Amino acid sequence: MSAVDLVRLRRPIEMPPPSLDTLMRQAQHQVGQMMQALVERPDDLTDLRGHIGEVERLSRRVDALKLRLTARAASTGATGVAGHTDTGSWLAGATGSDRTTSASDAMLAEAMGDAERAAADDAGDAAGDSGDAGGGPGAAGDAGDAAEDRSRAGRGPRLTLTAAALDAGTISAAHAKVILRGLDDLPEGVTTDQRRACEAELLRLAANRSPSQLRRAARRVLETYEPDEAVVDQHEDDLVAREEEAARERAAFWVKDNRDGTMTGQFTVPWVSGMMLKKVIDAMTAPRRRTTDGPGDAHESGGAVGSGGVGGSGRAAEQLSPSDRSLDCQHRRGLAFADLLMRIPTDHLHSKVSATILITTRVDDLLAGLLDEGLVPAGTRVGSTDVHDVISAGTARRLACGAGLLPTVLDGDSIPIDLGRQRRLFTDNQRMALATRYDECAAEGCDRPFAWTEIHHLRPWEAGGLTDLDNAAPLCGTHHHMIDSALWRHVVTRLGNGTVSLAFHRRT
């Protein structure tokens, strides 16, 4: 055997990459090993938060793989061969998911494209963006316009940046759906560059926002390239008004007699109506709500679960298991709802503000259309609420005169006007004033909405603290309880916008 032959024998043999089926089996095996490690190696579970983060990233990447496979099935016609009418029904059959979820996933899969098509389109766009290649000075613009036309016509991926982030597991499929909706809501005439800039901005925001928080930010993504704030305001208001109108179209209600002394029902109503109902029920069942209507007129509810109030056995909440507490809460809320139905109208509830949606809007937006015979100027801004969402300017105007909705009107400097003060317990007016400053519990990292909070004296009343806004902080029930716990200490930080943040640390 010659030396040349020996060299040839020493060369590594190039093996073809493993098939997708093989990789799937290996992945299933790896997941099984991880499940087994949970039981057999409990000492490895020292960084539970880190492990959860890695599992979440892995889950997101698996979701991306499912979407890529769905896009491939649609592009190759596999869904039609199976006899399904569309990709959503094919996916529902393949995964056992409900039809609505599968339809939403199919839309996202189409926007992402399968990996091969996405790479080909990206290469084509790169060639088109290279300048004069392929046909003179206008070639780059023509290629970009062609790519945009393919996207809008559904023949190419529309979310190349988002798809890459989902592939890497840095965002979830829920984030990607919000981004898709935000880009589809952009006005007519948006250019390819503007669209990509908006997509990049939404991806940046998605890094530290939940999908619901990102959804609110997406309504104003027009700010990425539109310098006129009035145009952005009008765009956001138009989107919210469109959502409200669509919600009215989906409104439904049914109730049936169970013939055992009970009735069961279900309803779908616009967000504002549903939130009004939820806040009424919350007000009737909140365990530790305190407020006053005037000097010495305090209202309190609390004590043992079910004691003297709606529903329950009188056992202390601490004695119940988590599942029992959940069922007990549902039971109390059910009884509260039954009580509410017997007491309509709701203006006699024990806590008017607790059962009220607080709407913050500008004077001009509130008066527009009321004083000018229905003429609404351009640039109206949505009204914000104390429960983490917004309503259109038109809805705010319609509800401003109704019972149960109290507008907090801001002047040009965003200073609350016409808000009363109280010397001891915090008043309803002070709570409304705080709602213009805070969206959530003041505890660091807590995302419970302002509507769920209780007002806490930063400097205790017993220690000479004043009942004024600068000494007030909204805290959810959990963090309000931690204030008085010997297990926790807290540090108050005053922020530049007139609010405070409380950081809790376990005592050692």
Q: Which residue has the higher pLDDT, 4 or 128?
A: 4
C-beta neighbour count of 486 within 10 angstroms: 6
Residue 219 CB-half CA count within 13 A:
22
Q: Distance between CA 448 and CA 481 in Å, rounded?
A: 15
Q: Distance between CA 280 and CA 489 in Å, rounded?
A: 34
Tell me the whole-structure pTM to 2 decimals: 0.68
107 band by pLDDT with thresholds 50, 70 and 90: very high
Check whether 175 has a pLDDT greater than 50.
Answer: yes
pLDDT of res. 355: 56
Check whether 482 has a pLDDT greater than 70.
Answer: yes
Q: Which residue has the higher pLDDT, 432 or 197?
A: 197
- pLDDT digit string (tens) for 220-230? 999 999 999 99
B/e letters for 367-387, b = 16+ CB within 10 Å, e = fewer, are: ebbeeeeeeeeebbbbbbbbb
Instruction: DSSP for 155-168, please give it.
Output: SS-S-HHHHHHHHH
Check whether 422 has a pLDDT greater than 60.
Answer: no
Q: Is 270 left (phi over 0), alpha (psi -120 to 50) or beta?
A: beta
407 band by pLDDT with thresholds 50, 70 and 90: low
pLDDT of res. 319: 58
Q: What is the mean pLDDT of the chain?
A: 77
Look-up of token digits 């009215």: 248
- Separation of CA 377 from chain center: 30
Check whether 128 has a pLDDT greater than 50.
Answer: no
328 band by pLDDT with thresholds 50, 70 and 90: confident
Q: Domain coordinates of the chain in residue numbers?
A: 52-119+149-226, 252-342, 439-506
- Indicate the residue type of 67: L
For residue 166, CA distances in Å to 72, 88, 108, 210, 291 come to 17, 20, 11, 15, 46
C-beta neighbour count of 158 within 10 angstroms: 22
Check whether 118 has a pLDDT greater than 70.
Answer: no
In this structure, what token pair is assigned to residue 301?
């509810």
- pLDDT digit string (tens) for 268-325? 999 999 999 998 898 888 765 434 444 333 333 333 333 334 444 444 445 556 656 6
Average of pLDDT values for 8-31? 81
Q: Distance between CA 404 and CA 418 in Å, rounded?
A: 18
* DSSP, res 387: T
Instruction: DSSP for 413-427, please give it.
Output: T--B-S----SSSPB
Instruction: Return the minimum-mean-pLDDT range out of 26-30, 161-165, 268-272, 414-418.
Output: 414-418
Average of pLDDT values for 409-413? 50
